[in-house]
């Protein structure tokens, strides 16, 4: 009987708590740092390299740190281990949000961060400035990738640019005709591919809808899909809610997406080039295209954890991953533009850099790179407040329903 | 006298100390690891995070609960999750009862042992392997479509099917135990008094094994309530309470709101357990 009384007591406390909540409360919104007013925690970059510590924990996008376990021919981790003696341990993540929370555990030394994660990592004190003079290969990297808003703060570099690419429109050539060249095939409520659309499962996907609205509804005045005021944000959310019945699945695991495309459970969707390459290699007729509206994309940066006990190995990795050989292999395996122009002569496909517009700064500027949305509108408007990432996240739960 | 002997002599004279030492480890486990974690969860639910840096801000507020009650989407998800849990429980009970009945009342002792092992075999395989197998089977050109000419595709139906499959052993075993304890003489007595099979089943077998069914339902119900992996694998674009918790931890990095959402299944389970306690099913666990 005592047990049941305890049970009732716990239940009572819980109910009291929930009842109080139901009474309502004034919402106090915390002001968060960001934009011009954003001051990162004071952290010093490494001044000189020491002896390699013998171990390195890497947090990476799938396909960025391959050690031959997925495909014996795809391996640039083992040569690194042999050259430096740093035993590598790789953990992959599916979304930037997952990466940010994994970095908070302090268990990783380096991370390949996209633009929607990097500022959060810098602001949270999870990553430290990088002394680029200790990374010899840094000198070769395209200038238009260096000291960008997502990899530096006040001209202090927080990492090494690694590669960039677009979130491409992907489709089954045998099921989708004519070949699409607009995102409307994924957003039009009368799309013939109803129930066969596959979309990316992350709040940042709202930017894809905003990008589409930028071109189709100019009256909304969207200048940057990551800077959305109330009205613009609502329009993007509404568009995604309207898209919801068309969607068969939201993907965060690129292997699951590849499988859905291969089996024909999804015939059109947004994907990375690596997914397309993988699905093609398994014999499925899949193609990708960069639609006329442009696309969201990523420009990734290798960053060093502030809490890393393996700093020398971390710097060695930064230098290794943007070396011409490794950069060429990653770019080709993942399907992206390498950051190091010297990599272009080392790719197996001689036209790789041309296909991905590697050195083309003008092309690169057409892609809207993932950036963390913050209250200060990053398109320069000061008269309105933009929706921050917390609100993007809540809206995302609501869109999925 | 050796130290061991003197210690044991000392403990023999102090029965309360002996009991205390014996119970200290389980009590620590229950108190710290289980109830402590629940309490920490509940406290965290009142905090919030800085949305930009993702740092937890330890200021008390009821905002999370307000959001939970105000936003319709969380009600929808709660109702959907409850619906799936009820459907899985009912389906499992309907499938499990005849199986358990045969095992307990008709099978020979040797066949009984074999059947119990057979029921438990699926538990040896990994959850993920089983869930992904269903993903392949329910796919557009998978086994289900080939056998029946149609497949429910990925969605709520697929989620219910997969979860019913996954939790079925947890329903069969308690019902089997309950039926095994039901004396055959009662069934025979009912027959002797003129009860037809259906009447005997309704008036004798079912009331006496109902607590066992409820015991099984606690497993299927609570396991479904907390699940988030199956719906991710075969649920199409749907989400359950577990996904909201997971997304808020893994994606949004909003631990406090995840804790707030996580209290929903806890409250549901407490209500369910309170209701179930009246049936005496908890004595069957």
Contacts of A7 in chain B (CB under 8 A): 270, 273-274
| Rounded Cα gap, residues B241 and A397, in angstroms | 11
Show which of residues 193-212 on chain A sit within 8 Å of chain B, judged by CB atoms: 195, 202-203
Confidence of residue B1 (pLDDT cuts 50, 70, 90): low
**Cβ neighbours of A263 in B, within 8 Å:** 139-142
Looking at chain B, which residue has its C-alpha nearest residue A19?
Answer: B65
A-B contacts at Cβ under 8 angstroms: 143
- For residue B55, give the nearest of A124, A248, A398 by CB distance: A124
User: A323 falls in which pLDDT band (50, 70, 90)?
Assistant: very high
What pLDDT score was predicted for residue A280? 92
Predicted confidence (pLDDT) per residue in A16-42, tens digit? 433 333 333 333 333 333 344 467 888
Given this model, what pLDDT does residue A8 score? 46
- Which one of A204, A265, A267, A372 makes the best mutation probe of the B interface by having the most chain B beta carbons within 10 Å? A265
What mean pLDDT comes out for the span B178-183? 91
> Per-residue DSSP letters for A319-332?
HHHTSHHHHHHHHH
pTM for this structure? 0.78
Task: Measure the CA–CA gap between B58 and B113, rounded to whole angstroms.
Answer: 55
Contact A264 B277 (CB under 8 A): no
**Is the CB of B154 less than 8 angstroms away from the CB of A265?**
yes
pLDDT at A363 (0 to 100) = 78
Statement: residue A11 has pLDDT above 50? no
Q: Whole-angstrom Cα distance, residue B134 to residue B165? A: 9
A388 touching B (Cβ < 8 Å): yes
Residues of A in contact with B65 (CB under 8 A): 17-18, 20-22, 25
Task: Say if the Cβ atoms of A32 and B52 lie within 8 Å.
Answer: yes
- Whether the CB of A400 is below 8 Å from some CB of chain B: the reply is yes
Q: Is the CB of A31 inside 8 Å of chain B's CB atoms? A: no
At residue B36, the pLDDT reads 86
Per CB-CB distance under 8 Å, the chain B contacts of A97 are: 250-253
The chain B residue lying nearest A395, using CA atoms, is: B73
Mutation target to probe the A interface, by most A beta carbons within 10 A, among B27, B46, B53, B155 is: B53
Closest chain A residue to B249, measured at CA? A101
Task: List, for residues A125-167, the tens digit of each pLDDT value.
Answer: 999 999 999 999 999 999 989 988 888 888 899 999 999 888 9
In the predicted structure, residue B181 carries a pLDDT above the cut 60 = yes
Is A390 within 8 Å of B49 when comparing Cβ atoms? Answer: yes
The chain A residue lying nearest B48, using CA atoms, is A30
Split at pLDDT 50, 70, 90, the class of B52 is: low
A250/B237 touch (CB, cutoff 8 Å), yes or no: yes
Mean pLDDT of A61-90: 91
Q: Which residues in A lie closer than 8 A to residue B42 (C-beta atoms)?
A: 14, 17
Nearest to A401 among B66, B76, B153 (CB): B76
Share of chain A above pLDDT 70, in %: 91
Instruction: Specify the pLDDT at position A13.
Output: 40
Give A173-215 pLDDT, tens digit per residue: 999 989 999 999 999 999 999 999 999 998 999 999 999 999 9
Contacts of A397 in chain B (CB under 8 A): 73, 239, 244, 247
Please say if the pLDDT value at position B42 is more than 50.
yes
pLDDT of residue A28: 30
Inter-chain residue contact A30 with B57, CB threshold 8 Å: yes
pLDDT in tens, A217-262: 999 999 999 999 999 999 999 999 999 999 999 998 888 899 999 9
Mean pLDDT check: name the lowest of A52-66, B19-33, B106-120.
Answer: B19-33
Selection from B247, B267, B268, B266 nearest residue B258 by Cα: B247
**Higher confidence at residue A14 or residue B45?**
B45
Residue B285 confidence (pLDDT): 57
Q: Given a cut of 90, is residue A270 above it in pLDDT?
A: yes
What is chain B written as a DSSP string?
Answer: --HHHHHHHHHHH-HHHHHHHHHHHHHHIIIIIIIIHHHHHHHHTT-EE-TTT-PEE----SHHHHHHHH-HHHHHHHHHHHHHHHHHHHHHHHHHHHHHHIIIIIS-HHHHHHHHHHHHGGGGS-HHHHHHHHHHHHSTTSHHHHHHS----SSHHHHHHHHHHHHHHHHHHHHHHHHHHS-HHHHHHHHHTT--HHHHIIIIIHHHHHHHHHHHHHHHHHHHHH--HHHHHHSTT---HHHHHHIIIIIS--HHHHHHHHHHHHHHHHHHHHHHHTTTGGGG-
Chain segment B208-232, per-residue pLDDT in tens: 898 899 999 999 999 999 999 999 9
B-contacting residues of A 133-192, CB under 8 Å? Answer: none
Distance from C-alpha of A114 to C-alpha of A118, rounded to nearest angstrom: 6
Q: Which of A17, A28, A263 has its CB closest to that of B61? A: A28
Residue bearing the bigger pLDDT, A389 or A85: A85
Is pLDDT above 80 for A331?
yes
Quick one: pLDDT band at residue A273, thresholds 50, 70, 90?
confident
- A262 vs B7, residue with greater confidence: A262
Which residues on A lie below 8 Å from B265 (Cβ)? none
Q: Are strands A268-271 and A337-338 parallel, antiparallel or unpaired?
A: unpaired
- Three-class SS of residue A124? coil
Residues ≥6 apart with Cβ < 8 Å to A147: A155, A157
Whether A397 and B76 lie within 8 Å, measured CB to CB: no
Query: What tens digit of pLDDT does each residue of B267-281 get?
Result: 999 999 998 887 766
- From B76, which residue of chain A is nearest by alpha-carbon distance? A401
Across the interface, do A203 and B252 touch by the CB < 8 Å criterion? yes
The verdict on a CB contact (< 8 Å) between A25 and B154 is no
């Amino acid at each position: 009987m005592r047990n049941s009384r305890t049970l009732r007591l716990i239940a009572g406390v819980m109910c009291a708590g929930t009842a109080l909540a139901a009474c309502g409360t004034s919402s106090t919104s915390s002001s968060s740092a960001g934009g011009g007013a954003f001051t990162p925690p004071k952290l010093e970059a490494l001044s000189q390299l020491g002896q390699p510590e013998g171990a390195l924990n890497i947090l990476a996008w799938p396909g960025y740190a391959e050690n031959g376990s997925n495909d014996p021919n795809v391996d640039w981790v083992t040569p690194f281990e042999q050259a430096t003696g740093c035993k590598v341990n790789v953990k992959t993540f599916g979304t930037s949000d997952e990466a940010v929370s994994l970095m908070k555990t302090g268990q990783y030394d380096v991370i390949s961060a996209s633009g929607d994660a990097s500022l959060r990592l810098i602001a949270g004190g999870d990553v430290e400035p990088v002394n680029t003079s200790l990374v010899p290969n840094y000198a070769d990297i395209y200038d238009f990738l260096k000291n960008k808003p997502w990899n530096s703060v006040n001209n202090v570099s927080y990492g090494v640019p690694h590669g960039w690419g677009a979130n491409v429109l992907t489709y089954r050539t045998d099921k989708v005709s004519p070949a699409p060249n607009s995102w409307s095939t994924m957003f039009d409520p009368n799309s013939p591919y109803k129930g066969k659309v596959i979309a990316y499962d992350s709040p940042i996907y709202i930017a894809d809808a905003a990008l589409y609205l930028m071109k189709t509804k100019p009256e909304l005045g969207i200048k940057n899909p990551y800077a959305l005021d109330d009205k613009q944000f609502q329009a993007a959310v509404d568009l995604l809610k309207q898209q919801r019945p068309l969607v068969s699945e939201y993907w965060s695991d690129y292997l699951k997406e590849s499988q859905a495309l291969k089996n024909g459970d999804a015939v059109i969707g947004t994907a990375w080039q690596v997914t397309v390459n993988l699905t093609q290699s398994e014999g499925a007729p899949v193609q990708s295209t960069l639609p006329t509206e442009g696309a969201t994309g990523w420009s990734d940066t290798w960053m060093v954890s502030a809490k890393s006990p393996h700093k020398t190995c971390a710097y060695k990795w930064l230098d290794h991953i943007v070396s011409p050989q490794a950069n060429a292999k990653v770019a080709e395996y993942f399907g992206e533009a390498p950051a190091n122009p010297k990599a272009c002569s080392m790719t197996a496909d001689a036209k790789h850099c041309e296909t991905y517009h590697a050195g083309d700064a003008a092309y690169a500027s057409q892609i809207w790179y993932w950036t963390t949305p913050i209250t200060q509108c990053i398109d320069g408007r000061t008269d309105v407040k933009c929706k921050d990432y917390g609100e993007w996240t809540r809206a995302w739960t609501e869109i999925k329903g | 006298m050796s130290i061991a002997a003197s210690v044991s002599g000392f403990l023999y004279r102090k029965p309360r100390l002996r009991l205390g030492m014996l119970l200290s480890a389980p009590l620590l486990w229950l108190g710290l690891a289980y109830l402590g974690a629940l309490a920490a969860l509940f406290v965290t639910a009142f905090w919030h995070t800085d949305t930009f840096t993702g740092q937890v801000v330890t200021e008390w507020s009821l905002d999370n609960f307000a959001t939970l009650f105000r936003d319709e989407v969380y009600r929808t998800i709660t109702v959907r999750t409850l619906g799936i849990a009820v459907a899985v429980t009912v389906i499992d009970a309907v499938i499990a009862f005849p199986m358990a009945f045969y095992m307990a009342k008709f099978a020979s002792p040797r066949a009984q042992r074999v059947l119990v092992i057979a029921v438990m075999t699926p538990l040896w395989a990994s959850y993920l392997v089983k869930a992904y197998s269903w993903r392949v089977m329910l796919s557009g050109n998978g086994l289900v479509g080939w056998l029946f000419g149609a497949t429910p595709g990925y969605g709520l139906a697929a989620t219910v099917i997969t979860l019913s499959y996954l939790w079925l052993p947890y329903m069969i075993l308690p019902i089997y135990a309950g039926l095994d304890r039901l004396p055959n003489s009662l069934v025979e007595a009912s027959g002797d008094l003129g009860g037809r099979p259906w009447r005997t089943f309704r008036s004798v077998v079912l009331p006496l094994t109902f607590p066992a069914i409820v015991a099984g339902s606690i497993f299927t119900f609570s396991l479904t309530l907390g699940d988030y992996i199956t719906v991710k694998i075969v649920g199409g674009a749907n989400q359950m309470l577990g996904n909201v918790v997971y997304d808020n931890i893994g994606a949004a990095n909003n631990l406090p709101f995840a804790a707030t959402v996580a209290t929903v299944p806890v409250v549901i389970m407490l209500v369910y357990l309170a209701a179930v306690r009246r049936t005496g099913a908890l004595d069957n666990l």
